[in-house]
Chains A and B, each alone.
Chain A
Amino acid sequence: MKRPIVASLALAALALSSACQREQRAPEETTAEETTAEAAAPKVDPHGFDAFYVWPGVRPAADLRTHTLYLLDGEVRRRPGPARFTRLRAGLPRLPGADLWLVVRIDRLDLSPRTWATIVADMERWQAAGNHLQGLQIDFDAATPGLDRYAAFLAEARAHLPHPWRLSITGLMDWSANGDPAALAQLKPVVDEVVVQTYQGRSTIPGYGAYFRKMAHFPLPFRVALAEGGNWTPPPGLARQPQFKGYVVFLMPKQLRR
């Protein structure tokens, strides 16, 4: 895959058409200066972090400090017929040394009680295998849903989740920065954390500085997900934000040359 790294120097505020920016566009308040600086920012090296996304097939380097791991277990995908959960790992993870989150990727919200039961059964299996399971993360991978409908879905997720497991969700920057604060605050009793995604594909989305400026009063505890190898300079003030709980680095899969 050819990704024009340098070209992002040239494509800033107006150039919204490349990469996954269809889904996450740079905010209009982004200055060209800002995007230029972001593109020249240092690249994310997983060795400086201790929380990671691990997708199937990815093996983290042995010398990483893996305090917290978000492991994708499976997905519920848009396809004909009723929603079904598809496991993406061949077997059970056994990572007793880490705090573990079971991640389920979904692109639809019509999960049946049986599907929820299957997901919870997987959580129980992971726990029984000696893992320190923290909870479930919903990785909703589709266009920003109506927050109302999504909130209802998350309340349903919460209801299916046995105590004391926690509920984490991924959030797009646009959604996190531009969502109605009152609606976001309503998620407080439901969602324990939001992990804000700053990348599409292998690259950091330009204009993240402007998003984080708008997140100054974000009502929920949040982590910031970075792409391994993506450009990143911490936006001013992020570290001091009371709800900011640290980073999660998305470990990139090896690119197959098929």
Chain B
Amino acid sequence: MRGWQRGASWAAALIGASGLAATVVWACADSSCSPVWRLDAPDYACDGRAMLTPGNDTRINLLLLMRSLAPVSEAGVAYAKPDWDDDQLGHVFFSWKGLRQTLWPSAPEPEPATPDAAAECAAPKGAQDAFAAAMLAEKVAPFYRDQLIAERAKLGCPDAAPPGVYADDLAGSYAMYMGAADDFYRGNYAAARSSFAKLASSPSPWVRETAAYMKIRIALRAAVAGAIDQYGDFAGLEKVDKAQAAAAGAAIDAYLKAWPQGRYAASAQGLKRRVLWLTGQDAALAQSYEAMLRATPGSGEAAADLAEEIDNALLQREEGVKAVVGGGKAPLLMTIADLKAMRPTDPAKPMPLAAETLAAQAPAFAGQDDLYGLLGATRAYYAGEAPRTILTRLPDAARAPGYTPLAFSRQVLRGMALAKAHDANEAGFWQELMGGAKGLWQGQLAQLGLALRWQRDGRIDQALASASPIKDSTLRQLMLQTMAAPATLRANAADRSRPDEERNVARFTLLYKGLTRGAYADFTRDLALVPADPKADLGAFYGSGLSTPPAQRFTQGKWAEGLPCPSLAQTTATLARNPADQPARLCLGEFYRLNGFDGFSLYAPFEKVDQLGRGTDQFPGTMLSRDAIYAAIIADKRAAADLRAYALYRAVMCYSPSGYNGCSGPAADYAASQAQQVPKAQRKAWYDELKALYPNSRWAKALRYYW
């Protein structure tokens, strides 16, 4: 029997997967996810957290809840290798896709197809086997049986022949079944319906039962047959043929009455939800899902399929949410809907979920104090209530040996309230919590909490010390690139207990900031920290999502093109003695230009909100950009003619060919990038000056335009 296999195909089978398109089809059609490096998540975001929170993907919250009802050990589970778009999440955050891939990794690459494998046009092998087994059990004559099996194997394929004619009643009944099934798959529902009706009096019990089940399938297909838009997509519930959907419901009842333990009983039970959905019986659908949330173990992949189905069929529709909340009988679904309802509709307006609304739901949560307490505390936190009121609702359990996702959510929220209260014990709380935070992604969330606190306290050196409890490499790479002092970077570069990629990030950052911020003597010395690696791929990036190029960029780069520049080490040695040395400064500019540093920036958190990485940078100095090197030499009228000519030439070339300044280094935002542009008149003035003052220089001759 084709079609209805398991939960995931529930909506997909019906609506042609359009409802799942966002996850199924868009492998590379969605932007990559850049997380906000903080604990709170008020609004929907791609970076999921290991706690029940308004910002999580609803499917993540559903699964975390299921895994709290029946606790699951996550010991020894390895994090899935992230896809390109999840790369920045590290092991701190996760997407729905990443969560599924970690918990239920897909099987390795398939073996090459075998010639006798069932084609997609034919029924799955299981269905063909069931057909053959039924004939064997019912003692269909072997001769007919072989013929019927052969016909069945091709049924539905373009090269199928119409079923043969059988003199024998029993075999003929199987043949008629195949004809009816073929009509069904071809969309000839009236013909299929009449053939299956006739088969109700078949001599074969298997055919009788299967024909009764197929009545359900036909009615469901017919119900949505007209609900297709011009693009071939599901046109919406309002276009469904409700009479056919109701007929499917009646056929389910009839089938289950006649065959309560029948071979399709489980499938028929599942199809009940589809009927509820198609006929808009959302209250009953919610009750069904609530029961399934309790009954489905969070350890199995069926839990993930269920989460997707609930989100697609119920929680993404306003009427569905109303049925959940209005019914007041589905606390698990209400939890998920309430969390979603806490997302801000408008930052200027108060928390959309009113305290009274949540208070009125209290009876539904009788006996589930942990869940209801978390909801109340979460609402209070995101509504901006005083942290002390949140702390009283969430007792300290930071020394527990382990946490369900629900228990962990309560503790992390407690830690967030401690942070808001600037509580002196916050750092100790996070360190205690790490002990029992053994679930996937849990420990890293506690580490993020501690890192944020230490950032606020100006203790990045402590956070990055060798003995620091912040062990997560992504968090460390983030702090190394954004805030670490030179000595901290040196110590991390030398720390053999840390992964090579992380040490490269430390090394690269030390050298990059040293070079661009004028620490020339240090830079020259620190070059010795770069391991000789002639095979280093200078174009590659190393690190966990917050990667840097290899530090060998500074030892194996290209030094000279138009100017006779020595190695970078010699240039910086000169600058260490005299930072104003003009030939050396031009050679520094050449190094930027020839090695791709013009457009480069270290990782910086994108959104300008308080988050890890936006603390004070302990590395002193400000960046010297290439255009500033030229501007200083142009301003020095006594500079040597060849140097000044080159500075003018390069200053004009900074705008080639786009008219935008490509030599100004990274800009934090649009306004900053606008501030880096000089007026076109200035570019013309440089051009004119080069042509007028140094007409015989090779740079004047080489320059034919300005931009």
Contact = CB atoms under 8 A, between A and B. Distances in A.
A141 B25 CA distance: 11
Nearest to B226: A91
Contact of B59 (A9, A89, A258): A258
Contact of A10 (B25, B112, B231, B601): B601
Interface in A9-30: 9-20, 22-23, 28
A253 interface: yes
B601 A110 contact: no
Interface stretch (A144-152, A180-188, A199-207): A199-207
A61 interface: no
Contacts of B670: 6, 9
Contacts of A71: 231-232
Interface stretch (B9-17, B199-207, B256-264, B366-374): B9-17
> Which of B30, B112, B120 has the largest count of A CB atoms less than 10 A from its CB?
B120
A64 interface: no
5 contacts: A17-B545, A31-B657, A88-B25, A90-B234, A114-B120
Given A15-B599, A36-B599, A37-B659, A84 B59 contact: no
Given A10-B668, A34-B657, A114-B119, A72 B28 contact: no
B130 to A, nearest CB: 19
Nearest to B154: A114
A178 interface: no
Contact of A88 (B16, B120, B311, B654): B16
Given A7-B606, A84-B120, A20 B84 contact: yes
A92 B228 contact: yes
Nearest to A38: B658
A169 B629 CA distance: 48
A241 interface: no
A14 B44 CA distance: 31
Contacts of A55: 21, 25-26, 29
Contact of B32 (A59, A90, A201): A201
A92 to B, nearest CB: 5
A256 B659 CA distance: 38
Interface in B375-391: none
Residue in A28, A40, A71, A91 whose Cβ sees the most chain B Cβ within 10 Å: A91
Interface residues of A, number: 78
B656 A33 contact: yes
* Chief secondary structure at chain A's binding surface: loop
Given A90-B16, A257-B44, A4 B114 contact: no
B26 A253 contact: yes
A80 B600 contact: no
B16 A110 contact: no
Interface of A: 1-4, 6-7, 9-20, 22-23, 28, 31-38, 40, 54-59, 71-72, 75, 78-95, 105, 110, 112, 114-115, 117-118, 120-121, 141, 200-203, 250, 252-253, 255-258
Given A121-B158, A253-B21, A82 B110 contact: yes
A80 B29 CA distance: 24
B16 A121 contact: no
B110 A56 contact: no
Contacts of A38: 658
B560 interface: no
Point out which of A3, A34, A90 has the most chain B C-beta atoms below 10 A from its C-beta.
A90
Interface residues of B, number: 89
Contacts of A87: 16
Given A31-B662, A79-B110, A258-B59, A89 B85 contact: no
A256 B316 contact: yes
Given A36-B658, A256-B316, 19 more contacts: A10-B599, A11-B600, A14-B549, A19-B84, A20-B85, A36-B661, A36-B673, A37-B657, A37-B660, A56-B18, A56-B231, A57-B21, A72-B25, A80-B110, A81-B117, A90-B227, A90-B233, A118-B157, A258-B58
B31 A19 contact: yes
Contacts of B659: 37
B67 to A, nearest CB: 18
A94 to B, nearest CB: 5
Q: Among A10, A16, A59, which residue has the most Cβ atoms of chain B within 10 A?
A: A10
Interface string B221-238: 000110111111110000
B331 to A, nearest CB: 21
A90 B21 contact: no
B231 A54 contact: yes
A32 B113 contact: no
B663 interface: yes
Contacts of B658: 33-34, 36-38
B121 A1 contact: no
B28, B44, B667 interface centre (most CB from chain A within 10 Å): B28
B566 interface: no
Contacts of A57: 18-19, 21-22, 25, 233
A34 B656 CA distance: 8
Contacts of B44: 257-258
B134 to A, nearest CB: 24
A20 B33 CA distance: 11
Interface in B593-638: 596-601, 604, 606-607
Contacts of A81: 110, 113, 117
